[in-house]
Structure 1
Amino acid sequence: MVKSFQGVRMVESKTPAQPILVKDHMSTNLVTFRPEDTIDQVMEILTKRKISGAPVVDESGGLVGIISEVDCLREIIKGKYTNTVRFPAQVKDLMTKEVMTLSPDISLFDAAQKFLDYQIRRFPVLREGRLVGQISLSDVVRAFPKLKHTTW
Structure 2
Amino acid sequence: MYEVNKVREIMTENVIYCEVPSTRVEVLSIMKKHNLTCLPVVKKGTKKLVGIITRYSLLEKPMEEQTALIMTRDPIYVSPNHRIKDLAKAFIDHRIRYIPVVDNDELVGMVTVSDIVHKVLTKSTFYQPIKNFIERNFIALWDKTPINVGWRIMELAKIYAAPVINSKLEVVGIFSASDIFSHIEIVVDEHKHVVKAATEGQEWDWDSLTIIYVGSKKLILPEKPISEIMKREIVTLREETSISQCAKKMRDLNLHILPVVNSEGVLTGVINDMNLIKILT
Give the TM-score, by structure 1 length: 0.72
Structure 1 residue 134 corresponds to structure 2 residue 117: no
Query: Paired residue for 1:115, among 91, 98, 106?
Result: 91
Structure 1 residue 104 corresponds to structure 2 residue 90: no
- How far residue 112 of structure 1 moved from its aligned partner, in angstroms, is 1.1
1:51-70 → structure 2 map (5 Å cutoff): 51-58=36-43, 59-70=45-56
Report how many aligned residue pairs link the two structures. 126
Structure 1 residue runs of 4 or more that deviate by more than 6 Å after TM superposition:
none
Q: Structure 2 unaligned runs (5+)?
A: 127-279
Change (3 A) 1:29 1:43: same
Does the CA-based 8 Å contact 1:22-1:106 persist in structure 2? yes
Q: Percent identity?
A: 28
Instruction: Work out which of the two has the higher radius of gyration on C-alpha atoms and give 1 or 2.
Output: 1
Structure 1 residue 71 corresponds to structure 2 residue 57: yes
Cα distance in 1 for partners of 2:2, 2:74 equals: 35
- How far residue 72 of structure 1 moved from its aligned partner, in angstroms, is 0.7
SS of 1:149's partner is coil
Cα distance in 2 for partners of 1:19, 1:138 equals: 14
Change (3 A) 1:17 1:95: closer
Per-residue CA shift, 1:100-126, capped at 9, x if unaligned? 111111221221111111011111111
- Counterpart in 1 of 2:35? 50
Change (3 A) 1:18 1:74: closer
Between structures 1 and 2, the one with greater strand share = 2
- How far residue 145 of structure 1 moved from its aligned partner, in angstroms, is 3.7
Does the CA-based 8 Å contact 2:10-2:116 persist in structure 1? yes
SS of 1:31's partner is coil
Q: Structure 1 unaligned runs (5+)?
A: 1-15, 79-86
Q: How large is the RMSD of aligned CA atoms in angstroms?
A: 2.4
- Counterpart in 1 of 2:22? 37
Cα distance in 1 for partners of 2:116, 2:36 equals: 15
Read off the aligned partner of 2:49 and give its amino acid letter. L
Read off the aligned partner of 1:72 and give its amino acid letter. L
- Counterpart in 1 of 2:68? 92
Does the CA-based 8 Å contact 2:11-2:115 persist in structure 1? yes
Between structures 1 and 2, the one with greater helix share = 1
Read off the aligned partner of 2:94 and give its amino acid letter. Y
